[in-house]
Structure 1
Amino acid sequence: MQIPLFAFMEKLSSYDFVFDTTGRCPLLHCHHPRRGGSHRNSLGLLCVTSSRKYKKAAKAAGVEYQYLLMIPSGEDLEVLAQLSEEKLHPVVDSIYELEETRKAVERLMDGHVTGKVMVRVKQE
């Protein structure tokens, strides 16, 4: 059974954060903030090509919109290889369980983070 890409929109009527890692989320329909200060973040090419339209819609809905375009490179792959070989050691500020995601986001937003804030999705 395949879940539609935007099935979350049928289940949620308001949210504080949307992290779109595909760049294909229908942003104009994702602006249902629970309260002022909601955020919408995108990664991907589509978010760049339509960013002006999305920023305008986000502002009208009281939502902060940000995007990041990532271009794959050999240098990035080398860093990933070093990470997988444990030659690089990322600095971890804190680790939260999935149920504590709100606390993790609050930690990020307070601006005093000294490394990565991680959310554990599945306990191994």
Structure 2
Amino acid sequence: MSELRTSRRSLLKGTGALALVGLPATAAAAQPADPLCTLVTAYRAECAALNATEGDIPDATPLPIWDALNEGRIPAAASNAGAMAALRLAVEMCEDFAGADAIPNLMQAALAFLEGGEA
């Protein structure tokens, strides 16, 4: 399997996000992008970039996706895959970031889809 390379910009547009969550390219083209899948994928890309940084990460390093997850309402999942991605990330964050606002925000966005409403 070839390595998937995509820019952060294309992740935010959603095309790369669907491919990264395991949908075949034809399914990704046939379905609209799930904004929550896009956000979770972008968060993971942001973490990977930070982890690839050698030495200490400066305190002033911008973390736009982390900030978006923590600063309030995030988009509701538009698919089961989006809801599951959000819940998985919330569980992971519980282990590393106790008390982060991102955790209930992700759970609320997943629950909105599961209940058929909006976040």
TM over 0.5: same fold? no
Q: Which has the higher contact order (CA 8 A, sep 6+)?
A: 2
* Alignment TM-score, normalising by the size of structure 2: 0.30
Q: Greater Rg, structure 1 or structure 2?
A: 1
Query: Hey, which of these two has a bigger chunk of strand by percent?
Result: 1
TM-score (ref. length: structure 1): 0.29
Relative to its length, the structure with more helix (as a share) is 2
